[in-house]
Structure 1
Amino acid sequence: MKTKAIVPPKLADPCNQDVKIKAQKVILGFKKEVVEFIIRLRILRIVLRHFKNPLKVLKILKTLDSNRRKISGPGRVNKFIKINGRYFWNLYIPGSNSLAFDRFFEGEINRISPILKKTNRFSNIFIAFTKKCPLKCEHCFEWDVINKKEKLRLNDIQTIIKKFQLKGVAQVQITGGEPMLRVDDIVEMVQSSHNVTDFWVLTSGFNLTYANAQKLKLAGLTGVVISLDHFDPDRHNMFRGYKNSYQWVEEAVKNSIDSNLVTALSICVTKSFVSESNLMRYAELAKKLGVSFVQVLEPKSLGHYSGKNVQLPPDQEKILEEFFLKMNFDKRFRDFPIITYHGYYQRRVGCFGAGNRHLYIDTDGDIHPCPFCPAKAGNALEDSLDYSLPVLQSKGCQLYNDTNIR
C-alpha cells in the first residue's frame, strides 16, 4: 500500500545563518551548593517517610550516593539546570520540586530496601508514536518499518500510557519515526495523562515551530531531545538524508528554549566521528546553542546499520568515557551542557533496559528491552503487563548482560 509522501516545511533562511539563542540557566558555585543541600534534604525527607531507624536511613542514603557515582561518575554533581523552578542534573531523573522527582526516588529507595507503599516500577519508558518520518537517517533503528501504515491510534497510545502509569513510571520518552508529525496527538496525550510523570519528545527538530513548542509546553511537556549528529551542517544533513535538517535543529533548539522546555541534543557517535577534538567542537556548539544536556549514543548494528561493523573499538570507548568525565566534573567546563553517556554505566553495572528501569514500545505496541535491543515480549496494548514484564526480564538485555560488564 502506498503511503502519502511527507513534505518537509519550507525554510526561509539558509542553514548557516546565525541564530540568536538564549542559554538555559546553569547553577554554579555557592548557589549550586545551596541547591544541592536542599535536594539532599528533600531526598532525606522521602527516606524518613518510610524508615525511622537511623542506621537504616544512613545506609539507604549511602547506597543512593554510591549508585549515583557508579552511574554518573565518581565526582560530586558539578552543576544544576534551573527551568520553571525545577532543578535538573541528569537527563533521566525528573527535576526536583515535583511529584515525579519524589516518586522516582521512592522507586530507587524501594530497590535498596522495600517500602510499603506502591512505588515507581520504571525510571522511564520509550514509546514510538509513529512510523512516519521525512528523513533517511544513516543509523535509523526503525528503518524496516519507516513510512508504513500506522497501527496505533491516539486512544491506543493513551491506553498504553495509562497501563504504565498504573505500574509507576517517572518519565515517558516519545519517539518514532518523527513524533512531531503527530504534534496535536502528543498534546492531547500529555494533557490526558497524570501529572506524576514527566513527558519528553525525541525529535529531529522537524516541525518544532515556536507555536508547536508553546502548545507542548502548555500541555505539560517537560523537555525535548533534538538529534544533532555533527557540528558541521553538511555532514549532519548527509547523515540525516535531508539538506535542511541542520537548520531544523537550530530553529527547534531556539523554539524549545524560548518555550522553557528542558532542551537536550543527542548524537550518535560513529567511528569516523569519535576523537577528542571532534567531541570538544560538538560541546562548544552545544554550549553556543544554549542546551542543558548532550546525550551520547553509540551506534548499534540494527535497522539501517544491520549487518554493518559499527561497534566502537575499546580505544574510542575510552575517549568517550574521558570526555564524559571531563565535561561533567572538571571545573573548567562547568558552564557547558551536562553529558549523558549510557555506555559508561552499562559497562560497569549493566543495562537498565529489559524492564529493569526502562523498556521500549514500538510502533505496533510490541514491548522490547530497549530501542536498540529488539526482542518482543508481548504487546503493551493487547497483553497484560503482568504477563509481558516477567517475560521481558527473563530474556534480559542481549547487549549488556552480566558477562559483558567490566
Structure 2
Amino acid sequence: MRAHLVQEAKACGASVRVDKAGNILAQKGSPKVCLQAHYDMVCMGSAPRILLQEEAGYLCAKGSSLGADNGMGVAMMLSLLHTQDHLECLFTNNEEVGLLGANGLEMQIQSPCLLNLDSEEEGKVFVGCAGGVDIIGTCSPEFTKAPAGWALYEICVSGLRGGHSGIQIHENIPNAIVLLVHALAEQECALVHLEGGERINSIPTAARAVVMMPKPFTCKEPFFTCKALAQRCEKVVANSDTILKTLCAFSQGVRGWDVALAIPSQSINLSLLSFSEGSLRVEFFARAMSTEGLDALKKETKALLELGGFSVAFKDETLPWNPHIGPFALLVKEEAAAVWGKAEFAGIHAGLECGVLLSKHDAPLEVCSLGPQIEAPHTVKERCLVASVHRVVEIVERIVTRKTYGTD
C-alpha cells in the first residue's frame, strides 16, 4: 500500500518523502492546507480479502469490514492530488493500532492548516477528540487438582453485533467477554481456559471458556452455547473465583458525559482476553476527552486489577485533542454549510490523529476534521454512503481552492 501511494503521488507531480514510521508526505506547489488520512484499516471477517458491493446507495463489503475508515479519505486525497496544483497530503501509517504513525512522525507539515478526513458523520465539523490508552493486566494463575466428579465443558458467547469502542460505546452494545465472565461467576466452576475479543478498539463479538463444573452450564440467552467435552482435565485454576469476581467488578462503557458536546467524556472497553503458557492477559481500551480523565481511568482500572492479583502496564497512550474553534475551523464550517445546507461543530469520542499531529508540529497549526457518512466501522457491517463521499469531496475542493484563509 505504501509503495502504491508513493507511486501515485509522484505520478501527480508531487514531491514525496517517507519517514521511518511509514508516513508519506506529498507536496505540490505552495499549499495553504494539508489533507490527512491514515492508510491502514481494521480487518474483520475475511478482510483484507475484500469483495465490494453496493446496496441502496451504500458501499459495503461481503463478509468483512470495508476499510472506508480511512480508505475514503485516502481516495479523496489521491483524487485531489491529480487535479490540484497547490496541495499537501499526509498519509499516516498504523493509526488503528494506537496512532503509531502519527506518534512517530518525523516530517514537518508545510501548510498552516490541516484538514483530517477521518471523521464519519456527515453534517459535522470536528474540533476535538478523545485521547486513549491500552491498559494491560497479566497474572500467572495458580493451578490445583481438578475436583473429583466434575465434568469439562466449553462455554461460548458468539454472534453479537460488536462495534467501535469509542464512537459506539454509548450505545450499550453487549460485550461478549463481560457477558461470559458474569455468567460464569454465577455458576460453580473452575477455569481451564479463557479467551475473547477481536481487536483492542472493538467491542467483542465473541468469547470462549473451558471450565470444569459439577453440573451442566445453564443460560437461556440465545448467544450462549454449552458443549460437554469428553476428555478429562487434571488441573484447574485455583483462584478462578478471584479472577472472575475481579472481571465482574469492572464497569464496562461510559464513565462520564460531556453535556456541551453531547458525547462521552470518559469510557472504557474490555477488549481482549487470552490465556496461554500459564499466563492470563486482559486488555482494556480507555478513552477520555482530557488528560485528567484518562489518568483517572488508568488509576481506577489499575487499582481493580491489582486487587485481583494482576500486574498492570500502560501502552500506546495518545493525547486528547482539546476542543478548539479557530479561524480555519470557521472557514471549514462555512464551506461545509454551503454544500450540506447546515454544519455544526462537534467533538468525537475516538482517537483522531489531530492531537498527536499538533504536538509534533513546531509552528502554529490550525486543525479540524470532517468526512463522509460511515456506519458500523470496525465490523463486518461497515458501510459508507456513496452520495456523502461526493459531497465531502466538493467541500474539500472548495477549501483547498480558496484564495484566502482565516489564518492569513
TM-score range, shorter chain: under 0.3
Task: Give the TM-score normalised by the residue count of structure 2.
Answer: 0.26
Select the structure with the greater relative contact order (CA < 8 A; seq sep ≥ 6).
2
Structure 1 or 2, whichever has the larger Rg, is: 2
More helix by share: 1
Task: Give the TM-score normalised by the residue count of structure 1.
Answer: 0.26
